[in-house]
Chain A
């Protein structure tokens, strides 16, 4: 197994489970299951036991491995020099399990759907670009940027609204961009996170080839998961593009007052997406946008930025739901944290987070107190306010 040489080095001190200031446990799967086996240290020790044939690949072991949201809290707070590779160890173990063909049915189904349909929803490719109908968003044809939407933004009804907001906003800001429409396919970030490295490589190479053929050099993503794949994983496969999350493009535009934002009175708390924040170190761009909106009060949650609590959707869990269910599921915990700030809007910058938190708000019966809006949707509201 890759990274096998470091699995014995975990002392299981447990710093990986916490926030940096220890205010709470911050590993989503540990927080839900509360057995040490579901913590990063637990996984390290159990992977070693599995490699040493002291335990078998069981349903429980699969749940332990695949309930990791790859949120990188452990990487952020582990005190050891191998901390950067913690999630890599878990992905390597998943890869071994995938290679052995012994994985949870939900993971198998996800991978199968991607393999057959190019998306997890089993939807036809020609439906991909339909979110853009009725907007001014154009097909890519040599513009400055490709706007890559991803599977969730292309097919999920809630996320499609975010895609439209992002598209409209970029157009409003005068950014030169286009989309691939039905030529877009899965970026593979979750495929990789679920351990199917062969399929990931196939998807990545397919995308790289298409991007190169079209002369694409700069990519704006709506989804931080795609941003992560393009920025960190594609270069190793020959795909060196300038990758940006859309908030990184919009933040300077908004700060320079190129978009005239009107007064929008609301209390908002920002939920950091793990693949934008901890994985890629971008905490400020979405905040700069929110702070630029007149009248908007931005309140931080106790667990924010490096200490943000994951919505539980990462690492493929958005699709497999291995980590979901029950009142201690991460999205419900996160919504309670957001509600405790007194905010009436949870701002997100990721369609997966949006959907996860939307679901949680309904389950927590907070529909009349709290709503989830993407940063782009909030800006659109500020644009649409009556003067």
Chain B
């Protein structure tokens, strides 16, 4: 009988393979609420060729493989539902190339958003990427794999829309490049003018292949950045307010939050606007445009700009916003999860009311948080709850609240974002049957042995 651990050690080196109970325990779960399931092996490869070898071994031996970035989806996407090999990608963390003039960067598949930000801060001060508010350890590849969002999402769409090329190891162990890089040394386009094959991998959670390189578009970085908060107690007017704001095309990012604590926030909706500029004049011009566009709401006494205290500004301007993680310990319990469907902006009022209802029904601390995607094209809406890991009953109530929130958003016309295994099942059930068959065809052709992150996007 073949000794899998020895084979893996032969590929990545003994130090970087574990079948110990300690790693099995840790990699069996993520910070969210999905049930744990232990892997048989955890490996930490350094190169794409090592990943090729691992996948060839896994194919030969029919062993499930789960690629993992930082494991920060919170929805169990890297929990090895059927055991097998978890591939922790974080040793593959080199920033390979920045094409400053064409404004893109090529990074290895385990590179974190934090490391990319630090690199650009130091070496390319006129460039930036769309950094998400997930912890800095979240990887670029995993973020685009789940169609994540970031600071530039209001301007340029999902972070996956900003991909300009991929290198992927297929389940067979073959390696291929996707986009202009398939036939050019330049990684400027993920598809056009060719067929866009990134759709075979993005959004699939590793069920069709493992991303070993990502090219990501970079954008101009302005010298100055500021934040304003428009507050309203009229949830029904939030979509109109956001519509006016996006019309100005002056705003970097638009986030909205509504939460009961601290007391001054209760019953209000806080539209947080980030503006940037290279000069004071540019910043003031944008600020003026933003203020003017909401003037009607101010005159009708439906809202107004709050004065952002100096102590609050660094927290809001922080990238990534570390305060998002702090929400996990509001109840001194280290737990935080949100169901984050992508919804039409017009459903914001109904979704916000639902969060409040769920918070009350399940006796949970909550926050409604949203980020505008594109020029009002959609919105990521977070039904966010904090829980105490030492309180199983509270954890169960949180699970129920999340489930109800997600289902509510789906019924309201939204689509699950980074769905749990149960939400994926619901989505597949609701999906156009022909679309579902197409997904099945893609999965079966790319992963005929069903070894890639099994359980995810599995059409039965």
Contact = CB atoms under 8 A, between A and B. Distances in A.
B31 A55 contact: no
B72 interface: yes
A58 interface: yes
Interface in A1-51: 8-15, 17-19, 21-24, 33-37, 42, 45-46, 49
A11 B136 contact: no
A33 B17 CA distance: 10
A81 interface: yes
Contacts of B336: 11
B448 to A, nearest CB: 31
A13 B390 contact: no
Contact of A56 (B16, B21, B136, B329): B21
Contact of A35 (B88, B325, B326, B334): B88
Contacts of B31: 11-13
Interface residues of A, number: 37
A44 to B, nearest CB: 9
B334 A10 contact: yes
A326 interface: yes
B442 interface: no
Contacts of B137: 13-15, 17-18
A35 B122 CA distance: 28
B325 A9 contact: no
B41 to A, nearest CB: 12
A61 interface: yes
A87 interface: no
B326 A34 contact: no
Given A34-B16, A35-B23, A80-B329, A15 B115 contact: no
B42 A11 contact: no
B328 A11 contact: yes
Interface in A77-104: 79-82
Given A18-B137, A34-B91, A81 B329 contact: yes
Given A21-B121, A35-B42, A326-B15, A14 B135 contact: yes
A11 B324 CA distance: 11
Contact of B117 (A13, A22, A36): A22
A213 interface: no
Interface in B271-322: 322
Interface in B1-46: 15-16, 18, 20-23, 25-27, 31, 42, 44
A19 B18 CA distance: 27
B441 interface: no
B245 to A, nearest CB: 29
Contacts of A82: 329
A80 B326 contact: yes
A54 interface: yes
B223 interface: no
B116 to A, nearest CB: 9
A11 B325 contact: yes
Contacts of B335: 11
B332 interface: yes
A302 B115 CA distance: 13
B333 A9 contact: yes
Contact of A36 (B20, B26, B119, B328): B26
Interface string B110-124: 001011011101100
B371 interface: no
Contacts of A15: 135-137, 322, 325
A23 B119 CA distance: 7
A8 B82 CA distance: 26
Contacts of B136: 14-15, 18, 22
A58 B20 contact: yes
B373 interface: no
A55 B70 CA distance: 23
B22 A14 contact: no
A56 B24 CA distance: 13
Most buried by A among B72, B135, B333: B135
B20 A8 contact: no
B334 A11 contact: yes
Contacts of A18: 114, 136-137
B90 interface: yes
Interface in B55-77: 70-72
B389 interface: yes
Contact of A21 (B15, B18, B91, B118): B118
Interface string A50-71: 0000111010110010000000
Nearest to A32: B15
A132 B130 CA distance: 59
Contact of B26 (A34, A45, A80): A45
A21 B26 CA distance: 26
B325 A79 contact: yes
B334 A8 contact: yes
A146 B137 CA distance: 46
Given A15-B137, A35-B18, A80-B328, 14 more contacts: A8-B388, A8-B390, A12-B31, A14-B70, A15-B135, A19-B118, A22-B112, A33-B15, A35-B42, A36-B27, A42-B26, A58-B20, A60-B22, A80-B326
Nearest 8 interchain pairs by C-beta: A22-B114, A14-B137, A9-B334, A11-B328, A23-B118, A13-B135, A13-B325, A8-B389
Interface of B: 15-16, 18, 20-23, 25-27, 31, 42, 44, 70-72, 88, 90-91, 112, 114-115, 117-119, 121-122, 135-137, 322-323, 325-326, 328-329, 332-336, 388-390
Interface of A: 8-15, 17-19, 21-24, 33-37, 42, 45-46, 49, 54-56, 58, 60-61, 64, 79-82, 302, 326
16 contacts: A8-B388, A9-B333, A9-B389, A11-B336, A14-B72, A14-B135, A15-B135, A15-B322, A23-B119, A23-B122, A35-B23, A46-B22, A46-B26, A55-B22, A79-B325, A302-B122
